[in-house]
Structure 1
Amino acid sequence: MAFEELVVRLNDGGYKNWLKAGRCLVILKEGLHPFTDQHMRDFHGYLLDHNPQLRNTCRASCQLRTNKLCSGCSEWKKEILKQHRQPKPTIYWDNCSPAYWRTDHWELAKAYMPRGQASKQRADQCDAAALLNLINHCNWFNFVDPKVVREVIQSRNELMHSSNFRMTDEWMRHFQTSLKHLVHQIDQQSQMKKVAQQIDKMLKLNLSISIDLMDGLESDTTSQSDVNSDLVGQWEAELLQEMLQEFLNTPAEDEDTDAPDAEHLRTLAGFLEANKDLSERFSAELQVINSLKAKE
């Protein structure tokens, strides 16, 4: 039954576009993990080498919410603002633990990310949106055109906030172009060259044919034989899980971002409930959403 429901969804071209675009963002994220981690290590080392005050140990366990920082942490805060690519930046200081700025390059990275990164300790714990915002905001990445980065961020937001879980062919062409331009600017590293190849392969993938191959039906497309319904179902579940996490974890007061509202949650819940296989897989999340709806 679950397989049949997945096949029905994949018979919709717009839904297949939505799913493939989401998978491309996962591929991009996995390529950005080592790329951003190494560059932030280099950036952190550069700052320490060029400003001796940044080496001072925090002896007060500074917390930004108290607005009282020791001299070393205050110097780090000044440097973070100085290295921001925007003239009047909004920085989510709650992402950071100032006492660790001196020793942990990823605590520095989180100052350039959206709200909600406080628990993320490594690059590979961050999603595509967080890493793209890091590149967009941190001056260390000034070799990447911010316009190109913002185009991918916008496409990502449109995908995650889609009300019908469908993307048009025209949207996909624009998305593909934006991804290509971004990866091209940072493909001096071998893993990004591999990312470009994987994204291209994903965008060309005929998910319907892949399902047929899983059932042993004859097909001329043998290059896709390693993709079956279980794998496609996993991709779908990962994308929906990311949406649920974002929609449920975004603070309601976060008015200056594209924070999902109650309508987004209702739409997502309705989609999951309309597909029995998905409603069973995400039953716990649906209970949370229904409890939130009951409080409205």
Structure 2
Amino acid sequence: MVHEELAFRLNDREYKNWLKAGRCLLILKDGLHSYIDQHMRAFHCDLLNRNTLLQNPCETSSCKPRGNTLSSVCRVCSEWRKVILKHHRHPDATINWANCFPPHWRTDHWELAKAYMPRGQAKVRGADQCDASALLNLINYCTCFSSVDPKLVRQVIQYRNELMHSCEFRVKDEWMRHYWTALKHFAQQLRHVPQMATAGQQIENMLTVDLSISIFGVDQMDSAGLFDGLQSDSVSQSTASAELVSQWETELLQEMLQECLHTAAEDDDDAKSQDTEQLKRLGGFLQTNQDLSERFSTELQAINSLQPRE
């Protein structure tokens, strides 16, 4: 059967917890897209209306960061920098200017948003391309999201970081209870946003569903109503359930791989060292599961190419 190894992994309750918690982050990310994009558009427009200097184009069309430092920029881009810092809740913290292309600050609200995000966002062109960490950090650092309590945002960020850097890809029941509380409190603040109201319900469903599947006979999942509308006429409910769990696992592992590989490719030695061990653990986990090693063969080759030769 196709899902033997998946079923074996899901026999570990703490691995199921890890998978469910990761799936909740992906649900949260999707729920935030529209809200954040609309909010940043309005914020960008308000800045332009309040400051006529910001309405002018970059005077050189070539202002850009050097590494993560933004210096020797024109008068207009310098004004944008001042405004960005003014609306940053922690302007003394590291600002990832390398995310941005300053000449586009005037015309692209998302270039503005990226100044409030973690490193590695330079090629990202919209909210729908961001992971949960990027979106949560934007809400946390930019003062335009004044309706959301930053303490609740930081709690979710903390749990997200613990989850994505879990050494064994397993979390305990107690951790899940605290995580659930943090997600619930955060989502409740945005319940007036239709997409977030839906995401909040989906998160609650995900945290309470039993992801166990049985590969002997009929695949099963205790998920009444959760997958309505997701299966086609040619795919049974039981088959769709196992396929969906596999898809969720793939999406979560893919996000972890992308984050680690991106850091490994950076010139920042400190950033590299932070994720080197995580990348090794992730590679080892994939290699010990044949189905995952086949699914992520390209990524495993990239991981192996980064290992120092003896």
Check whether TM > 0.5: yes
Give, as a single letter, the amino acid of the residue that structure 2 aligns with 1:240: L
What do residues 41-93 of structure 1 show as CA deviations (whole Å, max 9, x unaligned)? 01001111111111011131121327222221111110000000114131111
Give the superposition deviation at 1:295: 3.7
Alpha-carbon distance in structure 2 between the residues aligned to 1:34 and 1:6 = 33
Give the stretch that moved more between structures: 284-293 or 11-20: 284-293
Q: Is the 8 A contact 2:22 2:163 kept in 1?
A: yes
TM-aligned CA deviation for residue 2 of structure 1? 4.0
Say yes or no: does 1:9 pair with 2:9. yes
**Cα distance change of structure 1 residues 25 and 115 upon mapping to structure 2, 3 Å threshold:** same
Match of 2:281 in 1: 267
Give 2:194's match in structure 1, choosing from 185, 190, 194. Answer: 190
1:230 counterpart = 2:234: no
Work out the CA distance in 2 between the residues paired with 1:217 and 1:3: 9
Matched, 1:287 2:287: no
- Amino acid of the structure 2 residue aligned with 1:33: H
Moved more, 184-193 or 103-112: 184-193
Q: Contact (CA 8 Å) 2:210, 2:222: kept in 1 or not?
A: no
Q: How many residues align?
A: 293
Distance 1:202 1:111, change over 3 A: same
Q: 1:247 aligns with which of 237, 260, 270?
A: 260
Aligned-partner SS, 1:174: helix
Residues 161 and 260 in structure 1, CA contact (< 8 A), matched pair in contact too: no
Partner of 2:231: none
Shift of 1:197: 0.5
Relative to structure 1, the CA distance from residue 55 to residue 215 in structure 2 (aligned partners, 3 Å threshold; closer, same or farther) is farther
The separation in 1 between residues aligned to 2:194 and 2:163, in whole angstroms, is 28
Q: Is the 8 A contact 1:247 1:259 kept in 2?
A: no
Q: Distance in 2 between matches of 1:47 and 1:214?
A: 60
Q: 2:102 corresponds to which residue?
A: 98
The residue type paired with residue 21 of structure 1 is A
- Is this contact kept in 1: 2:209–2:222, CA < 8 A? no
Whole-Å separation in 2 of the counterparts to 1:192 and 1:5:
34
Q: For residues 27 and 224 of structure 1, do their structure 2 counterparts lie closer, same or farther at Cα, with a shift above 3 Å needed?
A: closer
Q: Distance in 1 between matches of 2:224 and 2:55?
A: 57
Letter in 2 for 1:247: C
Question: CA–CA distance in 2 between the matches of 1:144 and 1:197?
Answer: 19
Amino acid at match of 2:181: T
The structural deviation recorded for 1:262 is 2.1
Q: CA deviation at 1:213?
A: 9.4
Q: CA deviation at 1:294?
A: 3.4
The answer as to 2:278 corresponding to 1:276 is: no
1:18 maps to which residue? 18
* 1:132-281 alignment, distance < 5 Å: 132-208=136-212, 211-212=213-214, 216=218, 222-224=224-226, 226=237, 227-250=240-263, 251=266, 253=268, 255=270, 260-281=274-295
Deviates more, 1:77-86 or 1:185-194: 185-194
Percent of pairs with identical residues: 59
SS of equivalent residue, structure 2 residue 118 = coil
C-alpha distance after superposition, 1:156-197 (max 9, x if no partner): 111111111101000000110000111111222111111111
Task: Note if contact 2:4-2:215 (Cα within 8 Å) is conserved in structure 1.
Answer: no
Structure 1 residue 224: Cα displacement:
4.9
- Partner amino acid, structure 2, of 1:63: K
Structure 2 runs not aligned, ≥5 long: 228-236
Structure 1 residue 17, shift from structure 2 partner: 0.4
Counterpart Cα distance in 2 of 1:220 and 1:166: 21
**TM-superposition CA deviations, 1:79-118 (whole Å, max 9, x none):** 0000001141311111111111011100000000010000
Letter aligned with residue 277 of structure 1: D
Instruction: Summarize the Cα distance change of 1:95–1:254 in structure 2 as closer, same or farther, 3 Å threshold.
Output: farther
Looking at secondary structure, tell me which structure has more helix per residue. 1
Amino acid at match of 1:64: P
| Inter-partner Cα distance in structure 2 for 1:265 and 1:220 | 33
SS in structure 1 at match of 2:147: coil
Shift of residue 221, structure 1, vs aligned partner: 6.0
* CA 1:164–1:220: 2 relative to 1, 3 Å: closer
The residue type paired with residue 101 of structure 2 is S
